[in-house]
Chain A
Amino acid sequence: MKTSLEQFDKAFENRIRLQIMSVLLANEHYDFNSLKDLLELTDGNLASHIKALEKEEYVKVTKTFIGKKPNTQYSISEKGRKAFIQHLEALENLINQQRI
């Protein structure tokens, strides 16, 4: 069981980060405010988790303006996609191992 635990990505230990990655995997891109509403988080909370994912280069950021309002779009990077899928596989493996 130890082997599969090592496959777990530290960046995904937090549930909110896992949720952010799930949304970005299912969608080409998602903006900050919609993500905030969907996950029912505060500005600061979401920003800090996204910053952590950005630091790992799992998430790409595109900043534009709609009129005068800033519009920040997030999308998953290739590295992030690979890491997240690997993490999901590790979770599944763990379940399968426990069943035996």
Chain B
Amino acid sequence: MEEKDIHSELASIRSLMERSSKFLSLSGLSGVLAGIYALIGAFIGYRIVHAKYTNLIVTDSYPGNSQIYHQLIWIAAIILILSVLTGILLSIRQAKKQGEKYWNPVSRRLISSMAFPLFSGGLFILVLLFREEYELIISASLIFYGLSLISASQYTFSDVKWLGICQIILGLMATLIPASGLLFWVIGFGLLHIIYGTLMHFKYNR
């Protein structure tokens, strides 16, 4: 056996071990788009709040005005759905471009590992909504999203873990600092997604 052959054999083993256990078609571009949706949503939300309370800057509680909350929650829900759809569609496109199947054991594991923390967080936030305890919603969404990213990072690029850790730190800071929710929401879901998505795009997707 030639040395060249052994090298190519070892390389093919390494690549197969990685490709079979990690989903490597995650689209960076979809992260950038999700960040942009979040920024647009935050801007609309800010305008809605600003129109009601002209002299008020930003806070987390608007006592006795559940209508505002409902509008903000609808905006957040629409952003979430748009971001998830964009992520799925662009990752499928990326997988096709790389000639890989997008529905395989790894993508199934990736989805189920994200789903548990994400649904726990979703239910937790629904409970907060029913109890009309609005202050913790933004922190909870950042922390649970961060946890789901860390859990997902086992089955895709390990860089995803760092995005998750940053989201958790932001969520904790939002809990610590009163009336800072919108700011941390904009940083976490908006700016971090754009920065992360751009880095990933240039590192892996090109």
Contact = CB atoms under 8 A, between A and B. Distances in A.
B101 A31 contact: no
B19 A19 contact: no
B17 A22 contact: yes
A91 B6 contact: yes
B120 interface: no
Interface residues of A, number: 21
A6 interface: no
A9 B16 CA distance: 20
A27 B3 contact: no
Contacts, number: 54
B105 A25 contact: no
Given A23-B20, A30-B20, A95-B7, A18 B13 contact: yes
Interface string B1-25: 1010011011011001111110000
B20 A27 contact: yes
A38 B104 contact: yes
B21 A26 contact: yes
A88 B13 contact: yes
Interface residues of B, number: 17
Contact of B1 (A22, A30, A94): A94
Interface in A37-74: 37-39
Nearest to A91: B6
B16 A91 contact: no
Contacts of B104: 34, 37-38
A38 B12 contact: no
Contact of B6 (A19, A23, A94): A94
Nearest to B108: A34
A98 interface: yes
A15 interface: yes
A38 B105 CA distance: 10
Contacts of A95: 3, 6-7, 10
B17 A26 contact: yes
A26 B20 CA distance: 7
Contacts of A15: 9, 12
B154 to A, nearest CB: 12
A94 to B, nearest CB: 6
B21 A27 contact: yes
Given A27-B105, A34-B104, A94-B1, A22 B6 contact: no
9 contacts: A18-B9, A19-B12, A22-B13, A23-B17, A23-B20, A30-B20, A37-B104, A39-B16, A94-B1
Interface of B: 1, 3, 6-7, 9-10, 12-13, 16-21, 101, 104-105
